[in-house]
Amino acid sequence: MAARRPARLTRRQGLRLGLALPLVAARPAAPVVEVADGVFVLPGVDEEASAENLDAIANTGFILGAEAVAVVDPGGSLAHGQRLRAAVAAVTRRPIRHLILTHAHPDHVMGAAAFAECGAEVIGHARLPLALAQRGPYDLRMLERAMGAAAVGSGALAPTRLVQDRLSLDLGGREVLLQAHPPAHTDQDLTVLDAATRSLWTGDLLFIDRIPALEGSLLGWLAVLERLRAMPAARAVPGHGPPAAVWLEAAEALTRYLVALRDGTRAALRAGIGIAEAPGRVAVAESRAWRLAEAYHGRNVTAAYRELEWE
């Protein structure tokens, strides 16, 4: 099947939709952090997307090689993507050859439009094109609702190179290893390991502080975390949370939450608790340790219930 071009909001569409100018000015960008030699992160904020934060809510960044740059996730809006491009330009004149999309969620991909003219190949999981085609138009409408006119120009780019299993990139004496995973956070999760510094970009397979969002498979996510534990990594760059954290410790809280979700949902199913009641009964205490739990925990329980009721 030919890949469909992901949706992108044009200025004309924005005007037709009558998008209002944002009432609040965008906040100044957080400074870029070099978490390891040549590994740069623009930290995201633990908030929902807004005109003020420019949907810069996920960690994004880049890896600098002797010959080229690989960007990992362009962020949630055109404006954020432009910030990231400027952050690269402030560090190096080497070309951005690879734009890696860790999965299809809008806070990770909508800034890709800022990289449309830079000549980089766009790399994603083999299932990414379908996910972008299916959810792109809806995600853009939600971004417009959250950001107003500040969303204009935002959009993902169609991948030009797909990862079925593994892919190695050479940035000039610097190897970057991409791994495609079975369904976990989503069904198109891709991780990026910088071999030189043993830094593992997890995408949203790792959340710290901000409550995880379950979309792919709860049992699959726990299995993928096991697999990630075997990777030769010293630090993780999580999709949400601090710009970097000590690996494996960084995955402990997430694993505890997912196990509580699994065991609590199984217990609810055994007790005959219905899907409508389950969010108020399953892993409620564990959810309180996370930011934005009120927005996502109930959805996570519902997703877990739908998955585990067929066991």
Q: Which is closer to Zn ion, CB of 197 or CB of 302?
A: 302
CB of 212 to Zn ion, least distance (A): 9
- C-alpha span between 237 and 304 (Å, rounded): 26
Q: Which two tokens stand for residue 125?
A: 């999981």
Q: Which is closer to Zn ion, CB of 144 or CB of 204?
A: 204
| Contact region with Zn ion (CB under 5 A), list: 77-85, 197-205, 254-262, 274-282 | 197-205
Q: Which is closer to Zn ion, CB of 68 or CB of 84?
A: 84
Q: Which is closer to Zn ion, CB of 105 or CB of 174?
A: 105
Q: Which of 105, 116, 113 is nearest to 152 (CA)?
A: 113
- C-alpha span between 277 and 42 (Å, rounded): 39
Q: Which is closer to Zn ion, CB of 59 or CB of 287?
A: 59
Residues 269-298 interacting with Zn ion (rule: CB under 5 A): none
CB of 185 to Zn ion, least distance (A): 6
Cβ-Cβ contacts under 8 Å for 279 (sequence gap 6 or more): 297, 298, 299, 301, 302
Q: Which is closer to Zn ion, CB of 144 or CB of 215?
A: 215
Cβ-Cβ contacts under 8 Å for 129 (sequence gap 6 or more): 3, 4, 158, 159, 162
CB of 38 to Zn ion, least distance (A): 25
- C-alpha span between 200 and 193 (Å, rounded): 4
Residue of 8, 80, 105, 235 interacting with Zn ion (CB under 5 A) = 105
Angle at alpha carbon of residue 187, lines to 255 and 205, rounded to 5°: 30
Q: Which alpha helices (H) appear in the chain, and where do they start and end?
A: 11-16, 78-91, 106-109, 128-147, 218-229, 252-270, 284-287, 293-308
Number of chain residues interacting with Zn ion (CB under 5 A): 2
| Contact region with Zn ion (CB under 5 A), list: 34-42, 66-74, 100-108, 175-183 | 100-108
Q: Which is closer to Zn ion, CB of 139 or CB of 144?
A: 139
CB of 215 to Zn ion, least distance (A): 7
CB of 296 to Zn ion, least distance (A): 11
Distances in Å between the Cα of 86 and the Cα atoms of 62, 82, 220 are 12, 6, 37
CB of 223 to Zn ion, least distance (A): 18
| 244-281 b/e (C-beta count within 10 Å ≥ 16 → b) | bbebbebbebbbebbebbbebbbebbeeebeeeebbee
Note whether 85 binds Zn ion by CB under 5 A: no
Binding mask 199-218 for Zn ion (x = CB under 5 A): -----x--------------
CB of 106 to Zn ion, least distance (A): 9
Residues found near Zn ion in the complex (CB under 5 A): 105, 204
